[in-house]
Amino acid sequence: DADVTQTPRNRITKTGKRIMLECSQTKGHDRMYWYRQDPGLGLRLIYYSFDVKDINKGEISDGYSVSRQAQAKFSLSLESAIPNQTALYFCATSDSRGTYEQYFGPGTRLTVT
Amino acid sequence: GNSVTQMEGPVTLSEEAFLTINCTYTATGYPSLFWYVQYPGEGLQLLLKATKADDKGSNKGFEATYRKETTSFHLEKGSVQVSDSAVYFCALGGYAGNNRKLIWGLGTSLAVNP
């Protein structure tokens, strides 16, 4: 079974709709991250959480919110989706006791029409 | 601040060709360096890493050496296969403000033709 799972894997939604992307991990890591990937722009950090009570904005948090429901669960919400939020979204985890490496989920492809 | 610059793609090679993807970095202190690979339709996977100067990371026939004198961590493979077609990301483990983070390059797309 995958250590980091994301649901849904694909989603098409309309402008103005609220949508939630979910991430779960079985790695026992305390740190979790949400990134978006756009062609030519690489990975950009949206939000990150170093533990359940510690949530921080990344480079591009406007229009997004997150919730860390448990150590193993970190969800990303788009309160009112817009077309330029069409992208590939990745969740990642890391262990604060280890080195810097992060472990990624398979991604969610989101299309906002 | 910390930053990573990697060569732009796409890179197109024939099978069994030699691969180099350049990565240079700017950092204070002694960062850890990483290469990640993203196969089509998948998330990123750690390919190799190096945690101190002159370390060589290797995996699946790929190698990269942490060169502090040239602030580089170039990815190489002696003979690429079609299955190596993917996007490759160089990353630096460093501090942004008070927090430890990965700083990412923009990725280099590699296509290997049979």
For A73-91, write each residue's pLDDT tens digit. 999 999 999 999 999 999 9
Interface check A106 vs B, CB under 8 A: yes
Average pLDDT for A35-55: 92
Task: Tell me the backbone φ, ψ of residue B74, rounded to 5 degrees.
Answer: -75, 140
Closest CA to B67 of B79, B82, B56, B80: B56
CB contact under 8 A, A100 and B89: no
CB contact under 8 A, B34 and A40: no
CB contact under 8 A, A106 and B89: no
Closest CA to A90 of A45, A49, A53, A54: A45
How large a percentage of chain A has pLDDT more than 70?
Answer: 98
Dump pLDDT digits (tens) for B17-53. 999 999 999 988 888 999 999 999 899 999 999 999 9
